[in-house]
């Protein structure tokens, strides 16, 4: 569905028009019918990548192919939907007027458009606010109507930049269900989000971008599988002297509800357990910590 190869993006800034590079040979692909998560720290290049794919800015070099063709082809672009990171529309329009305007831009016939407006308003739970000017919308309402306009043309390929932004827990759940529903209809979705638990629950594959470079890419399960497992040991009956004895073993110590929590990597597990036994500490529990995308994310961000 999407193939990005060696994408480079430079900006000119300041009085002397100094060149600043923000994307370095970005390469990744999105398969048809999957949800692909594009994650990274603030300023890593996620939105710049999306805007370049959408043709809102020219790349310095590299290639972009969508649906097997030129990403600038109007016929291909007509089959795409986009939710920007911070959606802003003409705020004197009502939500319904915005959707009608966007539908007309897509060339949807009037009768079909009326039906489609009803459908997407109900889908994003905004039927009650259809006649309200968008200047009176909350952040969450604006996010919902932005999602609705991305769906108005029944796009085959959706690009969603922070679709959960500004939503309460109920709204996040509803948007997750919509995304999974679109996937169930065979749609392809490329999304970014700082809410990594949502990425884990939605995405088939993930790309991690740090400082303008894609540093990891693959199936979510495989990325998480590669993470080394940390362990947490809860003990009682020790004093502050344990701190010095654990130096060099990669142990972090936290006082918690009258207990001492030790967190350490798998490679030092046996040494930590022997030391705790020598101290005659009482062991409350020992368990591996859940592997997660957050662990992968933090590891890659810290390496930069």
164 Cβ contact list (under 8 Å, min separation 6): 171, 172, 175, 176, 193, 195, 198
Q: How far is Cα 139 from Cα 264, in angstroms, rounded to an integer?
A: 41
**Which percentage of the chain shows pLDDT scores above 70?**
98
- Model confidence pLDDT, tens digit, residues 92-139: 999 999 999 999 999 999 999 999 999 999 999 999 999 999 999 999
CA angle 216, 38, 103 (to 5 degrees): 155
Q: What percent of the chain has pLDDT over 90?
A: 57
pTM for the whole structure: 0.81
pLDDT at residue 302 in the model = 73
Strand-pair category, 2-13 with 61-66: antiparallel
For the segment 212-251, what is each residue's pLDDT rounded down to a tens digit? 999 989 898 888 777 777 888 898 877 666 667 777 778 8
Check: CB of residue 284 under 8 Å from CB of residue 229: no
């Amino acid at each position: 569905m999407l193939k990005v190869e060696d994408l480079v993006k430079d900006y000119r800034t300041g009085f002397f028009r100094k060149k600043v590079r923000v994307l370095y040979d970005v390469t990744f692909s999105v398969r048809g019918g999957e949800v692909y998560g594009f994650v990274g720290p603030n300023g890593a290049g996620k939105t710049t990548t999306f805007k370049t794919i959408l043709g809102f800015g020219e790349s310095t070099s590299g290639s972009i192919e969508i649906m097997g063709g030129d990403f600038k082809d109007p016929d291909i672009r007509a089959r795409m939907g986009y939710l920007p990171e911070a959606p802003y529309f003409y705020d004197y329009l009502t939500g319904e007027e915005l959707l009608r305007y966007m539908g007309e831009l897509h060339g949807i016939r009037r009768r079909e458009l009326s039906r489609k407006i009803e459908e997407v308003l109900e889908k994003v739970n905004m039927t009650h606010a259809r006649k309200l000017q968008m200047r009176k919308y909350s952040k969450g309402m604006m996010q919902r109507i932005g999602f609705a306009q991305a769906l108005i043309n029944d796009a085959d390929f959706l690009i969603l930049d922070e679709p959960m932004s500004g939503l309460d827990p109920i709204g996040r759940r509803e948007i997750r269900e919509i995304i999974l529903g679109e996937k169930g209809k065979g749609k392809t979705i490329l999304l970014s989000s700082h809410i990594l638990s949502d990425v884990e629950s939605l995405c088939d594959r993930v790309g991690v971008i740090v400082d303008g470079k894609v540093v990891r890419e693959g199936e979510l399960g495989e990325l998480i599988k590669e993470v080394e497992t940390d362990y947490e040991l809860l003990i009682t009956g020790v004093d502050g002297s344990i701190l010095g004895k654990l130096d060099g073993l990669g142990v972090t110590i936290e006082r918690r509800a009258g207990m001492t929590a030790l967190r350490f990597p798998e490679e030092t597990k046996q040494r930590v357990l022997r030391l705790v036994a020598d101290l005659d500490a009482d062991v409350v529990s020992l368990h591996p910590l859940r592997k997660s995308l957050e662990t992968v994310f933090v590891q890659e961000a810290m390496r930069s």
